[in-house]
Structure 1
Amino acid sequence: MTTIAYVLLFLGAFAGGFVTGLAGFGTGLVALGIWLYALPPSIAVSLVIICSIVAQTSTLPSIWHAIDFKLVWPFLIGGLAGVPLGTMLIAHADPNVFKLSVGVLLLVFPTALYFNSTPIAWSFGGRLADAAIGFAGGILGGLAGLSGPIPTLWASVRGWGKDERRVVFQTFNWTVLTASLCVQAGTGFITREVVWFALLALPGTIFGAWLGARTYQVLSDHHFRDIVLGLLFLSGIGLVWSSLGH
């Protein structure tokens, strides 16, 4: 690797770690756009999973006090049930169709929520609906690595405060990504080269996550909501773009 490639590796790790520390998700959203200039996609995608897990693990202590397992467990059970199904669908479904569908969803709903002046606090479906959302996220995670957007969007319309929302989608993403990493490791995708790049990226990831977590502490509910909706919207643009073959 050239010096520029190492710099890009660090910058991607730092940016991804910062966003994850700030919002609880988004490593792939910002890191992939940088890493793909220096790394092949097969390595970059695995690196995103590893660095996401590390960033989220390093920031869990800062939100541990807010974790309510009564709130979280339906998402986790649904997500873990959905991952194997999504993995099996890889051979039978077109990931681009799912990317386009989820991408359009993430362009429409975050925009509507941003411009909506009336507070939303849906209680529809209770824990069963939460589990169904987790199941959908698990399927998309196993199929196309898209575990986060749907549960994150759902948490944004439940009327929860920033700590409750963050706890839900960070613990959900951490669980699903860890399951995905175990599947990848078991199928040989985590090569020695991936491990080496991960070791090089971890300092940037951890420092970025620490700085992002410090920034999170001073955010109001309103500003946190705007950041999450903005990241979801950017994710929607990326998904639509990639689904169209660009």
Structure 2
Amino acid sequence: MDFITDPFFYALAIPAVLIAGVSKSGFGGGLGVMAVPLMALAVSPQVAAAIMLPILCLMDLANVWAYRKRWDRRNMLILVPAALAGILIGTLTFSYLSVAAVKLIIALIAIIFTLDHWLRGKNAGDTPKQSTWGKGTVLGGLAGFTSFVAHAGGPPVSMFLLPQRMDKSVFVGTTVMFFIVVNYVKLIPYWFLGQFNPSNLGTAALLIPVALFGTWLGLWAHDKVNVTLFYRICYGLLFLTGVKLFWDAVAHFIGSGSI
């Protein structure tokens, strides 16, 4: 089996995959967006994304069974068609994409959304809001596009679902059902774009035990956290994700001399 042998890569990849597993199965996937940026410190972002996709698909299978009866169908009907369109746009523009620019867009949206929630106060922030087709189409399309580029679809989905203040299990279950569709659809363009070479697939196989342990740990943590703390954690993770992506994007632009 062919695989990456660099120890520095695994020093980054193991915690990255563990964080992704815990985040996806326990808290809706917000912090899982950090996996590709972390791994990209040792390999190219394209290689990191190719390694992560089969791992994410495996996590999705485990999570679907756990949340198979706990997800919101209306939100899926709003988000999924838009996300498929976003994946198509990502596929067609693959050769022209600036990953740093996409990260910057996601970062700004995530940070502004979270700060708005916090600054408006607890009572306003805790009032459930009805999902709308317009907002869902925009954020669903953005989620599909950014998920294709860097598996960074979590923040846009969280921005759409969190204001609805749904039951925490339904919230996570809806993200699980959304991403099993998105990630398995992404397998097709990734394959045709040559992302799945023997080294990437072999490396992904080595990381599978870490992914399964992270998934189990997230499911365990989900049942131990109360609703109020759960939403505080989710908004906190979303903000940290935005800060991390913003830092990555600015560092890239500075390093390349773009600013």
Give the TM-score of the pair, scaled to structure 1: 0.86
The answer as to 2:57 corresponding to 1:24 is no
What do the CA deviations read for 1:154-205 (whole angstroms, capped 9, x no partner)? 1011232212221222222222222222211122111100111111000110
Q: Percent identity?
A: 19
Instruction: Give the aligned partner of residue 16 of structure 2.
Output: 12
Shift of 1:148: 2.1
Instruction: Give the aligned partner of residue 174 of structure 2.
Output: 168
| Contact 2:91-2:189 at 8 Å conserved across structures | no
**Map 1:49-68 → 2, pairs under 5 A:** 49-68=53-72
Shift of 1:122: 2.0
Q: Out of 144, 149, 152, which is 1:146 matched to? A: 152
Instruction: Give the aligned partner of residue 122 of structure 2.
Output: 117
The answer as to 2:84 corresponding to 1:80 is yes
| Contact 1:17-1:27 at 8 Å conserved across structures | no
132-141 or 43-52, which deviates more: 132-141
Shift of 1:152: 1.1
| Contact 2:100-2:249 at 8 Å conserved across structures | yes
What do the CA deviations read for 1:43-83 (whole angstroms, capped 9, x no partner)? 22212222222222212222112123233222112211221
Q: 1:146 is paired with a residue of what secondary structure?
A: coil
The answer as to 2:199 corresponding to 1:196 is no
| Contact 1:17-1:207 at 8 Å conserved across structures | yes
Q: 1:64 is paired with a residue of what secondary structure?
A: coil
Instruction: Give the aligned partner of residue 100 of structure 1.
Output: 104
101-110 or 207-216, which deviates more: 101-110
Shift of 1:5: 4.9
What do the CA deviations read for 1:28-55 (whole angstroms, capped 9, x no partner)? 4343455345444332221222222222
Cα distance between partner residues in 1 of 2:242 and 2:78: 25
6-15 or 157-166, which deviates more: 6-15
Q: 1:66 is paired with a residue of what secondary structure?
A: coil
Cα distance between partner residues in 2 of 1:114 and 1:106: 12
For the structure 1 residues 29 and 97, does the alpha-carbon distance in structure 2 shift closer, same or farther, using more than 3 Å as the test?
closer
The one-letter code matched in structure 2 to 1:79 is: A
Q: 1:237 is paired with a residue of what secondary structure?
A: helix
Instruction: Give the aligned partner of residue 46 of structure 1.
Output: 50
Cα distance between partner residues in 1 of 2:18 and 2:135: 35
Long gaps (5+) in structure 2: none
17-26 or 71-80, which deviates more: 17-26
For the structure 1 residues 77 and 34, does the alpha-carbon distance in structure 2 shift closer, same or farther, using more than 3 Å as the test?
closer
Q: Out of 118, 131, 140, which is 1:134 matched to? A: 140
Shift of 1:2: 5.2
Give the TM-score of the pair, scaled to structure 2: 0.82
For the structure 1 residues 219 and 3, does the alpha-carbon distance in structure 2 shift closer, same or farther, using more than 3 Å as the test?
same
